[in-house]
Structure 1
Amino acid sequence: MKKISLFLTTLLLLFSMTSVVSAQNSDDEFLSKGPLYEKLGYSTEFIFNLEANPASQSTLLDGGKQKSRGLINSDIKKAIEFGFTEQEIMDFTETDWNYLEEKNADLVNVEEKYIAITSDGQAQEVNKEVALKAIKDLEIKRLQHANETSTFAVDIGSDQEQTSWMKVVTTVTKDTSQSPTAYYLKHSFEWLNEPFWNLQDGIAISHPEYMSQIQNSEIFKYTYDYHTNDFLQTYVGTNNVYKWTADNKGVNGMAFKYDLLSRYSNGPIEYIVKKNRGYMIFGTTKASSQYTKGTAYGHYSHTEIAIAGSIGVKVSLNNLSISGATKVTKMTDTGVTFNF
């Protein structure tokens, strides 16, 4: 009897030690990913609550257009693991949610950059605080003008467009639900104010040849808000434009082009377009077991003077080329590495 008791005690002790080690490893992983979540705009406390209460109804989208979906915390956590910000999740349609179905997401790397673009087409990376302060100052000035004159839309135009501001984010997500393991590369953009030129722009993700693309895994989404065309510029609605086939793809990546809008017409009514934003994403696998690290580069090019017709986009390793435009501003590239 004493031997049996000793045996059971030993098993219980081993189980307890294993549980402690497992919990410690989980905590260490959570803490190591904290900076990645913060780059996407989430606090560690918020992520911890999602993980601690996966089946609880999510409060992230309370009052938003997604509230009726009855989303739970695990739904939101999966979207975050795929590199989506709160704004992007708020913009989700059934198409976005369907893309994430049956995938097991694990965020592995994030890089964000803020860029200032002058009216003569010069792009320069700036820190986050500088960009957000500039946007806040522009909004204060816009409201002051709106209170002073009903001709605000014309009055502020030349001043507003001296500098445009943009945010770009590149993320990598590991998906173990597939065999071999898949790595999803995502690049998103957000115009923080309205750009001076609104023609066609290009977006791309490039990678080494030893990363094979998963067939038909790509998707591009362009989202914009439209407002009344008057001095109040009242919000009316949001539109989404999807593309399921890349305009250019090769062994080193994929690229899309899209029409960057400044106006949107619905019948006889014309609206002002604001908050241009979007993302592209596609899956990859490693082509050979000899490779231990992967790389993804995010690219965005803004056209200012285009030849009649549509632009062309072509992606190569660490580069996005634009044809059909006589003036192009290349935004600062992003780049992330990760372990296979």
Structure 2
Amino acid sequence: MQYNNLGRSGLKVSQLSYGAWVSFGNQLDVKEAKSLLQCCRDHGVNFFDNAEVYANGRAEEIMGQAIRELGWKRSDLVISTKIFWGGAGPNDKGLSRKHIIEGTKASLKRLDMEYVDLIYCHRPDSSTPIEETVRAMNYVIDKGLAFYWGTSEWSAQQITEACSIAQRLDMIAPVVEQPEYNLLSRHKVESEYLPLYTTYGIGLTTWSPLASGVLTGKYNKGTIPPDSRFALDNYKNLASRSLVDDVLKKVNGLKPIADELDVTLPQLAIAWCAANPNVSSVITGATKEYQVEENMKAIDVIPKLTPSIMEKIEAIVQSKPKRPEAYR
């Protein structure tokens, strides 16, 4: 496993990481979580991602209990959570100072940890001034509740504003953004965020490398496997938007390239994300140990992604965003 600096910070995260979204609390409980997490550690994963909203907080409880029962050394781990959706009350969501501080403390209680290494603003909050959010995140760091902070699915303009405010106030700026990134969703990472990498040293921990499973090829027969994400009631709308003929045709087109490299489609898709030098870590998901084993083999695929192979992939997906004139 390779360990990358998280953006320009000194924090080192495994090139592949594990996220609790969907699985913990919806599909898995503590016993299954322990075996999955141990499998990840056996492959060198040190970064585990969570959020207050995942399974309404249950995902954090499961992760915390599993790590406690596994008896891992806390300093060996990088644990993150995300704050935005904490409940139904008017102050239980968003990025106000009140919710950031209360939400962080509630997350730590569920995780049964004194601190998280990394805390994200899970979405931008148009009803809260960014300066209030920057100050609140710095309070969380000053109190030792988190060591670094970042954003998730913010626009480049919003991240720039947060960094500028932090600079003006002599405060800690966000070090990382967590966007969706895969062969079918590339605009933010490859176009919009381009100035952020060099100007502010922003790193990326990207999610959904398999486009919610679409890039595994398991949906190409036109049926939804009963144990898959799209079989869950909460994800049926996503399935109807994702499983369109044009997308499935592209996935079919990638299969010969995977076969040529003697790898699986998921390994090809994950390796492709990890090969981007601006990506600090690719967050993977899995509900079974064999899926973790297969995902982790993507590390060995990265060196196989030669310029000619990347061109073949591009010819199939044809999803490369146009670079803005200013950055050419």
- The structure having more radius of gyration, on CA atoms, is 1
Higher strand share: 1
TM-score range, shorter chain: under 0.3
Greater RCO (Cα-Cα under 8 Å, separation 6 or more): 2
| TM-score under structure 1 length normalisation | 0.26
TM-score, normalised relative to structure 2: 0.26
Comparing both structures, which one devotes a greater share of its residues to helix?
A: 2
